[in-house]
Structure 1
Amino acid sequence: MPIEILMPALSPTMEEGTLAKWLVKEGDTVSSGDLLAEIETDKATMEFEAVDEGVIGKILIEEGTEGVKVNTAIAVLLEEGESGDDIKAGGSAAPAEAPKADAKSETAAPAAAPETKAPAAPAAADGGRVFASPLARRIAADKGVDLAGLTGSGPHGRIVKADVEGAKAGSAKPAAASAPAETAKAAPATASMASGPSSDAVMAMYQGREYEEVKLDGMRKTIAARLTEAKQTVPHFYLRRDIKLDALMKFRGELNKQLEGRGVKLSVNDFIIKACALALQAVPDANAVWAGDKVLKLKPSDVAVAVAIEGGLFTPVLKDAEMKSLSALSTEMKDLASRARDRKLAPQEYQGGTFAISNLGMFGIDNFDAVINPPHGAILAVGAGKKQPVVGSDGELAVATVMSVTLSVDHRVIDGAMGAELLNQIVDNLENPMVMLA
């Protein structure tokens, strides 16, 4: 029986991707573990491996096709003794129509009715796979028929449309029956989400003016959707502090001299990562994320750091940051940032964490308010360190290097007093850097 190769879900949140490049062609023999294609998600380009062995009988989706939904058939694998005739007989899925890239279709997409997908192939009573055409699976779901109890009349025992239409309803699994109800419950929340003017309306405003239309890639679409959702659904509040960096700058210079032989050069950002990781340990209730109807408190300090790349950004996560030395954090951060810019990070390297850092100080920004990246509980926006006049503890006027930071906090996870305590811990760690090594 020909095997459909489906578009994989390369991350828990992936719904569609771009089939960037085929690494095989029709007629090639493949084994389990062989590389089949390169798939572009919203964040990275990843290689897709074969699970079964056989011969590539037909490629259904051409390379370069964007917006390929997860679980869409992208190719057909022939097993030993099968030929191209078995593909037609087996009713394998036809190539999916490539999504249209014009502005009108992209604008209209959110208002369209949700696409009805064929249910996943069910398992037979003995645990084996039940072979059924996509149309048969859809009809079975609509009629409430359990495919595991049917005998197929198609080639190789495949269940086809006629088999399902002649079956009695009522044997569908409860999960399938409850799915429409769950969708219906979720619909009002989605419908109430505020949206801006349509692309047609915006383009009409600039009719007659010269402009360039920039197509949105998957990353930019995801950033737009997630941050819009964050600002509309996460109750942000903001806490600000100025941090005197003179002790840290002196300490950093001394450490870097001692680390020259190892080829390590610590940045101010490395100290900030360590300071935040230790602060989360000192205020453990703030080391948490929002999980819909509950709060998850994590024990390790998994700190995400925003990295700007062409066309967007990544937030790679440094896990167990409280346990790592400054030099280890520096080396790991440089590696993650380098691979982020090449879009070579694996999903587990940029997903998770409870807390994030966004540093625009190197661009001369004094201060700013960062948007929380759900489900994180907070994000620290870091500005530039600048020489400023300050009043010392003895009342005398002096000059110090001062850095402004703003902590954006999810009020569902962290209350005001707790947020203030967390920020005070971060400030204390940075103004007394030697404490972080104790």
Structure 2
Amino acid sequence: MALEILMPALSPTMEEGTLAKWLVKEGDTVSSGDLLAEIETDKATMEFEAVDDGVIGKLLVAEGTAGVKVNSPIALLLEDGETAPEAMTAQQPKEQSVQQTKPRPTNERRIFASPLARRIAADKGIDLGALAGSGPKGRIVKADLDTAQTSAAPKAAKTTLTPIVPAPTDPNTITRMYEGRAFTEVALDGMRKIIAARLTEAKQTIPHFYLRRDIHLDALLEFRSELNKQLSSRDIKLSVNDFIIKACALALQQVPAANAVWAGDRILQMQASDVAVAVAIEGGLFTPVLQDAESKTLSSLSAEMKDLAARAKTRKLAPHEYQGGSFAISNLGMMGIDNFDAVINPPHGAILAVGAGVKKPVVTDSGELGIAVVMSVTLSVDHRVIDGALGAELLAAIKENLENPIAMLA
């Protein structure tokens, strides 16, 4: 009996994917464990294996097809000696009907109007769709708006307020707003759709609050320089970011109540410090997770971070390498950003936004004016998980660790 091969869910958040490439063709005999296809998820391209033995009777989804829903049929598997059933030929009309379910605006009238007419209509709350244009080829011009205003009912008083028109959200309406202006339409890929959905969810559902501190880096930079000299023979070069990862991991152990995630109807307080680090890639970003970061040396953290970042840029990370964690770091300091506020990556309890280290005038411990390298950081906190005082305690621990880097090795 023919079996349907379904679109797999290759990650917990996957709802649809792109069938990037078939690794088999119709008529091929496959065994359990054989590679069938390459599936592009929201984060990576992964190989999909067969779970049963048989013959590929029909490929139902073409290579390169995007938006294939999880658990929808993508192929039919026949038993040895079995011929393709009539159900396979009935599959194509079904697919066509699904693909054509998107309604088309067949009777929608395109509105042509001059930029001045559009501005006047927006200011006066006049519906351009109700007007007949007197300009070339029916184009609505300023005179048509004047006529519409004089033919309208007289205003009750000069103080009548113009109604506030909400900003448009419909894609077609927004596109029509820019008729006559040159632009390039960029289709959203799976990663950008997921980023948009998750960030919208984060800003709408997570009660963010923000804590800011300045951190003096002179001791860390001097210590880092000395360490790198000693490690040069092993081809190891530590970055400031490596120290930041270690400082945050230790701070989560020093303030264990802040090492937590939001789980809907409960809070999960984690034991290990699993720290995620934002990595920018073309078209989006990854947040690979460094597990047990509190127990790893600076050199091992540095090597692991370099490997994860390199594979993130080629979308070769497995789901378990970028999911999980309780805390994240987003560092834009190397791009010249002094300070910023990062959006929490759910279900994390907090994220640290790291700015550039900049030389600034400071008052020293002796009360004299001096110069120090100062790095501004902002801790974005989920108030459902971490209260203000607890967040302040966590940020103080991060600052203490970075300003006393030798103690992190104890």
What are the equivalent positions in structure 2 for 1:255-274 lying under 5 Å apart? 255-274=227-246
C-alpha distance in 2 between matches for 1:103 and 1:217: 22
C-alpha distance in 2 between matches for 1:399 and 1:421: 27
- Structure 1 residues 133-165: Cα deviation after superposition (integer angstroms, max 9, x where no partner): xxxxxxxxxxxxxxxxxxxxxxxxxxxxxxxxx
C-alpha distance in 2 between matches for 1:55 and 1:435: 63
Q: 1:235 aligns with which of 188, 207, 225?
A: 207
- Structure 1 residues 189-225: Cα deviation after superposition (integer angstroms, max 9, x where no partner): xxxxx99611122112211111111111111111111
C-alpha distance in 2 between matches for 1:26 and 1:276: 53
Match of 1:303 in 2: 275
- Structure 1 residues 90-121: Cα deviation after superposition (integer angstroms, max 9, x where no partner): x878763475899989xxxxxxxxxxxxxxxx
Match of 1:217 in 2: 189
Contact 1:35 1:48 in 2 (8 A): yes
RMSD: 2.1
C-alpha distance in 1 between matches for 2:385 and 2:264: 11
Matched, 1:369 2:337: no
C-alpha distance in 1 between matches for 2:57 and 2:217: 64
- Structure 1 residues 154-184: Cα deviation after superposition (integer angstroms, max 9, x where no partner): xxxxxxxxxxxxxxxxxxxxxxxxxxxxxxx
- Alignment partner of 1:334: what SS? helix
C-alpha distance in 2 between matches for 1:77 and 1:253: 61
Q: 1:260 to 1:95 in 2, by over 3 A?
A: farther
Give the residue type in structure 1 aligned to 2:259. Answer: N
Shift of 1:88: 4.5
Give the residue type in structure 2 aligned to 1:21. Answer: K
Identity of aligned residues (%): 73
Q: 2:329 aligns with which of 350, 354, 357?
A: 357
What are the equivalent positions in structure 2 for 1:358-397 lying under 5 Å apart? 358-397=330-369
TM-score under structure 1 length normalisation:
0.77
Structure ID, larger Rg: 2
Gaps of 5+ in 2: 106-165
Runs of 4+ in 1 over 3 A off after TM superposition: 85-89, 91-105
Match of 2:65 in 1: 65
Give the residue type in structure 2 aligned to 1:96. Answer: E
Match of 1:245 in 2: 217
Matched, 1:289 2:299: no
Gaps of 5+ in 1: 106-193
Give the residue type in structure 2 aligned to 1:45. Answer: T
- Alignment partner of 2:392: what SS? helix
- Alignment partner of 2:261: what SS? strand
C-alpha distance in 2 between matches for 1:61 and 1:52: 19
Shift of 1:13: 1.0
Shift of 1:87: 5.2
Contact 1:31 1:52 in 2 (8 A): yes
Contact 1:7 1:71 in 2 (8 A): yes
TM-score under structure 2 length normalisation:
0.82
Q: 2:301 aligns with which of 329, 339, 352?
A: 329
Contact 2:168 2:174 in 1 (8 A): no
Contact 2:353 2:379 in 1 (8 A): yes
Q: 2:292 aligns with which of 300, 320, 330?
A: 320
What are the equivalent positions in structure 2 for 1:74-85 lying under 5 Å apart? 74-85=74-85
Give the residue type in structure 2 aligned to 1:83. Answer: T
- Structure 1 residues 324-367: Cα deviation after superposition (integer angstroms, max 9, x where no partner): 11001000000100110000111111010000000000110000
C-alpha distance in 1 between matches for 2:334 and 2:104: 39
Q: 1:100 to 1:420 in 2, by over 3 A?
A: farther
C-alpha distance in 1 between matches for 2:362 and 2:35: 61
- Structure 1 residues 24-71: Cα deviation after superposition (integer angstroms, max 9, x where no partner): 101111111111100001111000011111111110000100000000
Contact 1:361 1:383 in 2 (8 A): yes
C-alpha distance in 2 between matches for 1:103 and 1:389: 63
- Alignment partner of 2:185: what SS? coil
Contact 1:44 1:344 in 2 (8 A): yes
C-alpha distance in 2 between matches for 1:378 and 1:61: 41
Q: 1:268 to 1:104 in 2, by over 3 A?
A: farther
Shift of 1:84: 1.6
The alignment covers a number of residue pairs equal to 349
Match of 1:187 in 2: none
C-alpha distance in 2 between matches for 1:2 and 1:261: 61
- Alignment partner of 1:240: what SS? strand
Matched, 1:5 2:33: no
